[in-house]
Amino acid sequence: MKHLRKELWFNIPGRRGFVNITGEVEDLIQQSGVMNGLVLVNAMHITASVFINDDEGGLLHDYEEWLEKLAPFNASGDVYHHNRTGEDNADAHMKRQIMGREVVVAITDGRLDFGPWEQIFYGEFDGKRRKRVLVKIIGE
């Protein structure tokens, strides 16, 4: 069994943002030499997501608005008890649950085994700091 581990680092200038990381994951699969296997891509932080969807600007805008509706930002500890700890990011912990922590993708013939529009995104919900994504590849 072959395996490869790599961290991708991000520092999103705003509070929230989405970054397409498909190319970086594809490159790591080639480096690994794995022809058939699985790649796990996960946020290493609990206020961020890795998810797969369409790279279309309107849709990313819609996600932003929709998540704000389902889990609104509110810095006060009256709404979110988590924010009584000095944090203001309780909403980010919720947004991340909806979008998910991780994706697992098949590797076939040494490539991401993807449908026509699948793209891997890093989703940041509490940015302005350095944060990481883990890529772990196993197979042969």
Determine which residue in the list 54, 75, 128, 130 makes contact with a copy of itself, applying CB under 8 A. Answer: 54
**CA–CA separation, 25 vs 13, rounded Å?**
22
- Alpha helices, DSSP H, located in 1-140: 22-32, 57-70, 90-99
- In 16-56, alpha helices (H): 22-32
Which 3 state secondary structure label does DSSP give 17?
strand
6 binds a copy of itself (CB under 8 A): no
HSE on the CB side for 84, CA within 13 Å? 5
Q: Which is nearer to a copy of itself, 15 or 87 (CB)?
A: 87
Query: Which DSSP helix (H) or strand (E) runs through 97?
Result: helix 90-99
- What 8-state DSSP symbol labels residue 81? G
Partners of residue 17 on adjacent β-strands: 124
Nearer to a copy of itself, 59 or 75 (CB): 59
Binding-residue pattern over the window 66 to 105 for a copy of itself, x denoting contact by CB under 8 A:
x---xx-----x--xxxxxx----x--xx-xxxxxxxxxx
127 binds a copy of itself (CB under 8 A): no
Nearer to a copy of itself, 5 or 30 (CB): 5
For binding to a copy of itself (CB under 8 A), which residues are involved?
A: 1, 3, 5, 36-38, 40, 42-46, 51-54, 56-59, 61-63, 66, 70-71, 77, 80-85, 90, 93-94, 96-106, 108, 113-118, 132, 134, 136, 138-140
